[in-house]
Structure 1
Amino acid sequence: MKDKIAQTFDNLFGSRPIVAFAPGRINLIGEHTDYQEGLVFPAAIEQGIWVGIQQNELSSCRLYSTDFEEEFVFDINSFSPKKGHWANYTMGMVSQFQQAGYNLKNFDLAFGGNIPASGLSSSAALSVAIGTALTALFQLNIPKKSLVLYAQKSEHLFAGVKCGIMDPYASAFGVKNRALLLDCRSNTHLEIAAEFANHSLLLVNSKVKHNLADSAYNKRREACEESVRLIQKSYPKAITLRDIPVKDLEKVKQILPEDLFPKAKHVITEINRVKLASNVLKNNDLNAFGALLKESHRSLSEDFEVSCVELDYLAEQSWEMPGVLGSRMMGGGFGGCTINLISNAHLDKFQSEIYTKFKSKFQIEADFIPVALSQGARILA
């Protein structure tokens, strides 16, 4: 892809570009904990976005998307978001750089990627790749964490997506064969070795996305915030559910109404599962890690209620199959992918059986996406 982007750039703009790369990400465990300042456990993957960039002597910036096969031109001194357009990610990052006081000149940019499914954060990868490219082109020496915050704010303001910090953070800070134990309160992380020996991580893309995802997300978030308000009467120092120890669940159950407690329970136990997962991976205990994936899925499905029949089917079928140590839904919910930890010796049989069963049950042909933990954003050429 690097060579394709460079050649496309040369053909379009007549010069050789700087090429930057930023990866997509997976989240090993820790769903719906970030907006309660909890812990998450993401990692960068090999698939990602490539950006070619070079200065031009024109009076405007020229952009090209290889995926859309479309050009876009904007004035670097006067621009605004264009609803739903892919150019918003570049304009958003330019806007963030300018607001931070960096003086940018006109440039040409082309990009493309190979992130195959929703839930792997192609938008964050694109923003981080653009930021990495701009930093290199104009020799700005911007710290990674600042780049992450620019990418997050760019998505908020120009793409209209209220994303958390995890996606751009994992894309920027990823390390090969490491997961990031990311603290969403302090925006700091620890690198945790995650080498799966004779096992592999495999995503199964259900190819479904139910329409209630956005409204349900907002309702879950509101439920968590209301739970905090009620809990604070007994825990006055609690800022978020992150501050409630898992050993106090029974006490919390007495405080909260029946409709709120399961949602709070998920967040409190999921944060604890992230801690446990990082510890068992340090000790290379893959069976224990797989069991935590299973627990996470049950909690997301039964307590937080963000799964769906297709994801439940994929996870529950996987639990019964030989060589599968664990499986859970990954991401916001109501569709997307499951993440599975599978013995290499059983990979082919697993894919064949799950494909057949899922197609028979739902008339959908699932996709399989192997993922490996990889390096974060960088300049390639």
Structure 2
Amino acid sequence: MVHKMDKASIQQEYEQTFGVAPERVFFSPGRINLIGEHTDYNGGHVFPSAISLGTYGAVSAREDTTVRLYSANLADAGMLTFDVNDLEFSKDFGWGNYPKGMLYELKKTGLSFDHGFDLYVHGNLPDGSGLSSSASLELLVGVIAKKLFDLDVSQMDLVYAGQQVENDYIGLNSGIMDQFAIGMGKKDQAMFLDTNTMEYEYYPVDLGNNVVLIMNSNKSHDLASSKYNERRSQCEEALARIQTKVDVKSLGDLSKEEFDEAAYLINDDTLIRRARHAVFENQRTIAAKQALDDHDLTRFGHLISASHISLEYDYEVSVPELDVLASTAWSQPGVLGARIIGGGFGGCAIAIVDRDQVETVKQVIGDKYLQQFGHAADFYVAEIADGTHEVTD
């Protein structure tokens, strides 16, 4: 289960590791996405928010150019060390490539670092949960670097740098959503983002008497070695075939009807299904925001469940564990909708649940899951939180 963390505990852990108290403490959230999955790299809309689970970092500046990293979550890796003037990717450097990559991407923009730092990291995002621990770490290091080196960069600059770390430095062709949600999050607000234009609006998460229940399958996933990049290339190929006759920049530009008329150009069963998900999921996301505008929570829930079906059958990124979590949730009183979130192949699902029914729903789904898979699922109510920031109180 998730353990509680605070500024005092991270300060104490830093001191036990480095022998002195840290100068500053930062927090970077994880994220959930209400709806709009695998649309961010297809030019569609997403509807994410930052959550109160995330990654703490305690840090002190050094006088030399050495950076020392220690993660309580990956203690077996020990203390990792590099020089701020040597930021090349190294496969053997493990998780340390994310902080190193963030400095590398910032340096590429002309920024420089004249000293090192000691950084202690401890997160309470469940391992492999799909709540985006890598983007949480990237933005954590980005904000630390901004403050520590007094860099003239905006929060959006850091968001883009984080995406570059994933795409260019690590080699995962992910979209912008994770870093955006984590960097730009606001307490009690979701963000409705058009990834084509990067226009966005903050949106109060008003679900009436309902809460977002995160359901962790405890089936870990590794996106970089999964079929994530394959899904992206399949969508790119489908788009390229459509573009032979249709003037369109992204799959997110297409309505359902326009896609239907253009599908003959794709002329491949698998590619049609992949592209159909991207087009229809984008339209579902726009409809979901409209449903919230209309205070139609029933329709909102139906759209969330429809998203899961599309991810299961058209995009094929679900697994039996996530299908059981979602389908069992659908059959429970007080559940408006449920679906897989994140890249897929493991991780978490969410359900929109009447807060008075949460304990019963957790019990029923948990029992069914344990009986079917032989290990427990974990459940926690999502608290929607601020984006990456320094903890000053």
TM-score bin (small chain): over 0.9
Query: What residue in structure 1 maps to residue 255 of structure 2?
Result: 245
**351 and 15 in structure 1: CA distance in 2 versus 1, 3 angstrom threshold:** closer
Query: Match of 2:14, as an amino acid?
Result: F
**357 and 319 in structure 1: CA distance in 2 versus 1, 3 angstrom threshold:** same
Q: Tell me the SS of whatever aligns to 1:202.
A: strand
Alignment of 1:71 with 2:79, yes or no, is: yes
Instruction: Indicate which of 120, 124, 140 corresponds to 1:110.
Output: 120
Query: What residue in structure 2 maps to residue 357 of structure 1?
Result: 368
Q: Tell me the SS of whatever aligns to 2:64.
A: coil
Query: What residue in structure 2 maps to residue 323 of structure 1?
Result: 334
Q: Tell me the SS of whatever aligns to 1:67.
A: helix
Instruction: Indicate which of 94, 99, 106 corresponds to 1:90.
Output: 99
Query: What residue in structure 2 maps to residue 44 of structure 1?
Result: 50
Percent identical residues: 37
- Tell me if structure 2 keeps the 8 A contact 1:49–1:114: yes
Instruction: Indicate which of 1, 4, 15 corresponds to 2:9.
Output: 4
Q: Tell me the SS of whatever aligns to 2:94.
A: coil
- Tell me if structure 2 keeps the 8 A contact 1:213–1:334: no
Query: What residue in structure 1 maps to residue 3 of structure 2?
Result: none
Query: What residue in structure 1 maps to residue 41 of structure 2?
Result: 35
Q: Deviations over 1:245-281 (max 9, x none)?
A: 1233431344432503222221111000111111222
Query: Match of 1:243, as an amino acid?
Result: D
Q: Tell me the SS of whatever aligns to 1:140.
A: coil
Q: Tell me whether 318-327 or 226-235 shows the greater mean CA deviation.
A: 226-235
Instruction: Indicate which of 72, 89, 104 corresponds to 1:81.
Output: 89
Q: Tell me whether 328-337 or 150-159 shows the greater mean CA deviation.
A: 150-159
- Tell me if structure 1 keeps the 8 A contact 2:312–2:318: yes
Alignment of 1:99-248 (within 5 A): 99-104=108-113, 105-117=115-127, 118-209=129-220, 214=225, 216-235=227-246, 237-248=247-258
Whole-angstrom distance in 2 between the partners of 1:333 and 1:266: 14
- Tell me if structure 1 keeps the 8 A contact 2:88–2:104: no
Whole-angstrom distance in 1 between the partners of 2:381 and 2:198: 28
Q: Tell me the SS of whatever aligns to 1:208.
A: coil
**160 and 248 in structure 1: CA distance in 2 versus 1, 3 angstrom threshold:** closer
Q: CA deviation at 1:210?
A: 7.1
Q: CA deviation at 1:326?
A: 0.3
Alignment of 1:22 with 2:28, yes or no, is: yes
Query: What residue in structure 2 maps to residue 279 of structure 1?
Result: 290
**380 and 141 in structure 1: CA distance in 2 versus 1, 3 angstrom threshold:** farther
Q: Deviations over 1:347-377 (max 9, x none)?
A: 1111111111112222231111221211111
Q: Tell me whether 4-13 or 264-273 shows the greater mean CA deviation.
A: 4-13
Q: Tell me whether 33-42 or 92-101 shows the greater mean CA deviation.
A: 92-101
Whole-angstrom distance in 2 between the partners of 1:178 and 1:304: 28
Unaligned runs of 5+ in 1: none
Q: Deviations over 1:161-188 (max 9, x none)?
A: 3332111111010011111111222233
- Tell me if structure 1 keeps the 8 A contact 2:131–2:348: no
Count of aligned pairs: 380
Whole-angstrom distance in 2 between the partners of 1:253 and 1:342: 37
Alignment of 1:328-347 (within 5 A): 328-347=339-358
**294 and 72 in structure 1: CA distance in 2 versus 1, 3 angstrom threshold:** same
Whole-angstrom distance in 2 between the partners of 1:112 and 1:163: 24
Whole-angstrom distance in 2 between the partners of 1:213 and 1:150: 18
**320 and 15 in structure 1: CA distance in 2 versus 1, 3 angstrom threshold:** closer
4+ runs deviating over 4 angstroms: 209-215
**211 and 102 in structure 1: CA distance in 2 versus 1, 3 angstrom threshold:** closer
- Tell me if structure 1 keeps the 8 A contact 2:98–2:138: yes
**8 and 307 in structure 1: CA distance in 2 versus 1, 3 angstrom threshold:** closer
- Tell me if structure 1 keeps the 8 A contact 2:172–2:224: no
Q: CA deviation at 1:74?
A: 1.7
**211 and 146 in structure 1: CA distance in 2 versus 1, 3 angstrom threshold:** closer
**59 and 292 in structure 1: CA distance in 2 versus 1, 3 angstrom threshold:** closer
Q: Tell me the SS of whatever aligns to 2:186.
A: coil
Whole-angstrom distance in 1 between the partners of 2:335 and 2:255: 31
Q: Tell me the SS of whatever aligns to 1:318.
A: helix
Query: Match of 1:175, as an amino acid?
Result: K
**233 and 150 in structure 1: CA distance in 2 versus 1, 3 angstrom threshold:** closer
**210 and 2 in structure 1: CA distance in 2 versus 1, 3 angstrom threshold:** closer
- Tell me if structure 1 keeps the 8 A contact 2:219–2:347: yes
User: Root-mean-square deviation (CA), in Å?
Assistant: 2.1
**363 and 147 in structure 1: CA distance in 2 versus 1, 3 angstrom threshold:** same
**375 and 284 in structure 1: CA distance in 2 versus 1, 3 angstrom threshold:** farther
Query: What residue in structure 2 maps to residue 313 of structure 1?
Result: 324
Alignment of 1:53 with 2:59, yes or no, is: yes
**215 and 97 in structure 1: CA distance in 2 versus 1, 3 angstrom threshold:** closer
Whole-angstrom distance in 2 between the partners of 1:242 and 1:376: 26
Whole-angstrom distance in 1 between the partners of 2:288 and 2:43: 18
Whole-angstrom distance in 2 between the partners of 1:63 and 1:213: 22
Q: Tell me whether 341-350 or 355-364 shows the greater mean CA deviation.
A: 355-364
- Tell me if structure 2 keeps the 8 A contact 1:10–1:17: no
**342 and 213 in structure 1: CA distance in 2 versus 1, 3 angstrom threshold:** farther
Q: CA deviation at 1:201?
A: 0.7
Q: CA deviation at 1:136?
A: 1.1
- Tell me if structure 1 keeps the 8 A contact 2:181–2:191: yes
With normalisation by structure 1, the TM-score equals 0.93
